[in-house]
Amino acid sequence: MNIALIGYGKMGKAIEEIALQRGHTVPLKLDIDNATEFTKENLDKCDVAIEFTSPHSAVENILKCIDAGIPLVCGSTGWLERWDEVKKACESKNGAFLYASNYSVGVNIFFEVNKKLAALMNQHADYDVSMVEIHHTQKKDAPSGTAITLAEQILENIGRKNNWVNTTTVKPSELSIISERIDPAPGTHIIKYSSPIDDIEITHTAHNRTGFATGAVLAAEFLKGKKGIFSMKEVLGF
């Protein structure tokens, strides 16, 4: 499979390494230094594209790929206020698009654990829930896309929580997310339920980018030849 990489920073290079290990080729590597090569002609040489850039450039990149008719796996976060625009474009072009806030297999299992624990804790109002997420200092969005996904799962399952805030809070209806930026942390997410009697805590800690990169390549393998909008739930069969 020929893969186009849109974004060739640390994550792009990690994805390239995994893709090559799995027998794929990467004929197109796009970054700010060669943006003029981001053309339909070059994309047509590839079977699928993987996009990891920034919140500010993601939607433009997504729409260019959809217009070019290339299936796209997107890992950029911080742009979801424009989700409806992307969804409409993909549907109108009969395209193929897969988005996840986190491509790590371990994180996606953690998502399922988070939903189950939140559902169990819904009936125990003496426990308050909060979250801490830790990433490297180059991460441009806060809270992380993964933290937002975890928070939304908690809000869906715990009726006493109405919204999340990216700070500490004393309001019982708010879910606190504390964002810390510390090098070289690739990503840690901690969800804590606290009561006067005890605490319950679940944690996912990434040791490196390999898990994210592997998941992105698995997603690209899944997306090739398909039409529609997908997530890692379909890739992993959850």
Q: What is the pLDDT of residues 66-81, one digit of tens each?
A: 999 999 999 998 899 9
Do 84 and 131 lie in one domain? The reply is no
C-alpha span between 236 and 234 (Å, rounded) = 6
Judgement on whether residues 7 and 94 belong to the same structural domain of the protein = yes
The mean pLDDT value for 183-192 works out to: 92
Instruction: Report the alpha-carbon distance of residue 74 to residue 64 in Å, rounded.
Output: 12
Residues 126 and 61 in one domain: no
Q: What CATH number does residue 228 fall under? A: 3.40.50.720
- Mean predicted lDDT score pLDDT of the chain: 95
Taking only the tens place, the pLDDT of each residue in 108-123 is 999 999 999 999 999 9
Same domain membership, residue 56 and residue 32: yes
Residue (of 162, 158, 163, 150) closest to 126 by Cα position:
158
Alpha-carbon span 173 to 181, nearest angstrom = 26
Same domain, 121 and 151: yes
CATH number at residue 165: 3.30.360.10
Q: Does 135 participate in catalysis according to the annotation?
A: yes
Task: Calculate what percentage of the chain has a pLDDT beyond 90.
Answer: 90
pLDDT at 78 (0 to 100): 87
In single-letter form, the type of residue at position 150 comes to L
Q: Are residues 129 and 146 in the same domain?
A: yes
pLDDT at 227 over 90: yes
Give the global pTM. 0.83
Same domain, 226 and 177: no
Domain count for the chain, please give it: 2
> Among residues 24, 135, 189, 204, which one is catalytic?
135
Confidence of residue 238 (pLDDT cuts 50, 70, 90): confident
* Structural domain that includes position 62: 2-103+210-236
Instruction: Name the catalytic one among 139, 161, 189, 204.
Output: 139
> Are 150 and 164 within one domain?
yes
| Sequential DSSP letters for the chain | -EEEEE--SHHHHHHHHHHHHTT-EEEEEE-GGGGGG-SHHHHTT-SEEEE---TTTHHHHHHHHHHHT--EEE---S-GGGHHHHHHHHHHTT-EEEE-S---HHHHHHHHHHHHHHHHHTT-TT-EEEEEEEE-TT--SSS-HHHHHHHHHHHHH-TT--EEESS----TTEEEEEEEE-TT---EEEEEEE-SS-EEEEEEE-SSSHHHHHHHHHHHHHHTT--EEE-HHHHHT-
Which string of DSSP letters, residue by residue, matches 162-178?
-EEESS----TTEEEEE
Residue pLDDT, tens place only, 137-166? 888 788 998 999 999 999 999 999 999 999
For the question of residue 189 being annotated catalytic, the response is no
Q: How far is CA 200 from CA 111, 131, 188, 225, in A?
A: 16, 12, 17, 43
Tell whether the model's pLDDT for residue 28 goes beyond 80: yes
Same domain, 121 and 57: no
Give residue 186's pLDDT band: very low, low, confident or very high (50, 70, 90).
confident
Mean pLDDT of 201-205: 97
Helix (H, G, I), strand (E, B) or coil at 183: coil
Q: What pLDDT is recorded for position 184?
A: 87
Both 217 and 167 in one domain: the answer is no
